Amino acid sequence: MSFTIITQARIGSSRLPGKVLKKINGQTLLQIHLQRLKKVNGFEKIIVATTLEPDSDYIVSVAKNEGCLIYQGSTEDVLDRFFHASQLVQSTHIVRVTSDCPLIDPVLICQVVQFALNNDFSYCVTSSNFPDGVDVEIFKKKDLEKAYFNARLSSEKEHVTPYIRNQSKSNGTFGEFKCNEGDFRNVRFTVDEQVDFEAIELLINKLGLNCCWLDYSDFILANPTLFFNQQIIRNAGFLKSIKNDRKA
């Protein structure tokens, strides 16, 4: 068994355009994200799945400089983009992360991967008790292919894994990696808005680039008056997609 990490990154964003190219101390958020991913043990490749939007060449350039593979595809159908990106490698499993999580935790990724492989889950995800900003999903490549050919809802195509997740729940191959350190569901260090970027900038300037997710979380909890992004609704984009499914 082997795994490849695929991270999605694009220029367009309704709330903060070009967010992954915003810089902190001379490094883009995408660079920071990829450099942390490269600390994961045992991956076959890292693929940046981006789009053909204007200025996406900047994302391609960053990815190439970090030694990653690149796939450019659909802007809205991210499932299509992920599937075709996965065809670049022979790995049996795909780890999905997103580049708006610059402080993704490499140790946590390793833990989730090992847990999923040990239990032969078709799909495994970090539990909702982890902070927003360290989400990790791992699934079998063959199940990504099934989703590509069978998913029909717009939410399934925009968010890649709903079809795989639902199928794994129905056939008993779903796994959830629990957060034993406590309940951090209300802690946020993902980037959707300007205040999110400012929060990441503050974390990096105070703690540096090499801390674990728990250190960043504890700092946020210990200094609530410094962070103005903690009340932003988690997974707002996915909730909006579900509503649109119901209207269709």
pLDDT tens digits for range 59-93: 999 999 999 999 999 999 999 999 999 999 999 99
The pLDDT-based confidence of 246 (bands split at 50, 70, 90) is: low
Least confident among 99-108, 175-184, 235-244: 235-244
- Distance between CA atoms of 92 and 4, rounded to whole angstroms? 8
> Which among 101, 66, 96, 99 is positioned nearest to 203, based on CA atoms?
101
Domain boundaries, the chain: 3-247
pLDDT in tens, 4-53: 999 999 998 878 999 999 999 999 999 999 999 999 999 999 999 999 99
Average pLDDT, the chain: 94
Which ranges of the chain does DSSP label H, i.e. alpha helix?
Answer: 29-37, 56-65, 78-86, 106-119, 141-150, 154-158, 162-171, 194-207, 213-222, 236-247
Is CATH 3.90.550.10 the classification given to domain 3-247?
yes
